[in-house]
Amino acid sequence: LASPGVGINGLVAGNFHFSASAGSASTAIARNLPLKVVLVNTFKPAFWIYARENIKSPLQLKGKKLAVSSLGGLSHTLARLALKKAGLDPDREVVMIAAGTTDIRLAALKSTAVDAAVLNAPGKFKAKKAGLNEVLFIGERVDALSGGVATTSELIQTRPDTVQRFVTGALKGLKYFLSNRAGSVLFMMKYMKVDTEMAEEVYEMSIPMFTEAGTAGDDFMRNEVQLQAGVLGLKEVPPFDRPFDLTFARRANQLLRSWKPQ
């Protein structure tokens, strides 16, 4: 497993063929890196800002240190947007610290090395159990691509069959997750190393954020491109479908019409 920033750099360098950090890939594409998002899993970012006990509102983050995965990565980008909507100037009033994975960010928060951290599940629930304060749910403030599958334009051109097989397998996983609560909870317990209660809580919280078919409509794609253009200060907004090639996801849905998760 690699952090979003490492994963995208590895994808561009040819060390990986695919990345699950579709949101970070979208940012990289806006910077003209030759990538494509080929499957959309989630359309709301499942990120929260948790803070130490004395911080209870976004405005109290002024002058404080906030841990993100990597500068320019998805958690950094979305935190900037959400904090701006909350009334802060994130570039001037909040010190962003690149700290790595959710577990590392949470550890930094618990140790008081930082004042707040952007967390995803199950880090959110661990922070809650530790008595830390939820300051902001980023998904309430920002609609944006978060999870999915990205690959390189080169792989799409040279090995489309490989891309299709991978996307079809990923879509099977998505359909299984949405339709098999018990099996998904067991998997989450093992993968996330959490107990049943926390896994069930994460599952129920996550379901509304997922797509059903791994695709996205024009309005969502247009919003995503406008969001990235604004974040990067682009003078012109690129074509709304530039980051996406969802032909593989649509084909996968056709292939799986009669397939039922077991």
**96-116 pLDDT tens trace:** 999 999 999 999 999 999 999
Q: Give yes or no for a contact between 135 and 118, defined as CB atoms under 8 angstroms apart.
A: no
Is there a domain that residue 195 lies in? no
Same domain assignment for residues 152 and 249: yes
Q: Give the chain's domain count.
A: 2
Same domain assignment for residues 37 and 151: yes
Same domain assignment for residues 137 and 90: yes
Same domain assignment for residues 75 and 125: yes
pLDDT of residue 3: 61
pLDDT of residue 173: 97
From residue 74, alpha-carbon distances to 36, 85, 207 in Å are 16, 17, 20
Decide which of 119, 141, 163 is a domain's last residue.
141
In terms of Cα–Cα distance, which of 51, 221, 43, 230 is closest to 128?
A: 51
Same domain assignment for residues 160 and 222: yes
Same domain assignment for residues 96 and 160: no
pLDDT of residue 54: 94
Is there a domain that residue 64 lies in? yes
Is there a domain that residue 83 lies in? yes
pLDDT of residue 1: 59
Q: Is the pTM of this model over 0.85?
A: no
Same domain assignment for residues 80 and 64: yes
Same domain assignment for residues 133 and 168: no
Beta bridge partners of 18: 151
From residue 195, alpha-carbon distances to 5, 19, 37, 63, 133 in Å are 29, 27, 33, 36, 21
pLDDT of residue 235: 82
pLDDT of residue 5: 65
Same domain assignment for residues 73 and 128: yes
Same domain assignment for residues 57 and 160: no
pLDDT digits (tens, 9 = 90+) for 220-244: 999 888 888 877 778 888 888 889 9
Is there a domain that residue 206 lies in? no
Q: CATH code at 162?
A: 3.40.190.10
Q: Which domain holds residue 217?
A: 4-44+144-175+211-255
Same domain assignment for residues 95 and 109: yes
Count other Cβ atoms within 10 Å, centred on residue 218.
Answer: 9
Q: Tens-of-pLDDT digits for all 262 residues of the chain?
A: 566 667 788 898 889 999 998 988 888 898 889 999 999 999 888 899 999 999 999 999 999 999 999 887 778 988 998 999 999 999 999 999 999 999 999 999 999 999 999 998 889 989 999 999 999 999 888 888 888 999 999 999 999 999 999 999 999 999 999 999 999 999 999 988 889 998 998 899 889 899 999 999 999 999 888 888 877 778 888 888 889 999 999 999 999 999 998 7
pLDDT of residue 8: 83
Decide which of 141, 161, 193 is a domain's last residue.
141
Is there a domain that residue 184 lies in? no
Same domain assignment for residues 115 and 158: no
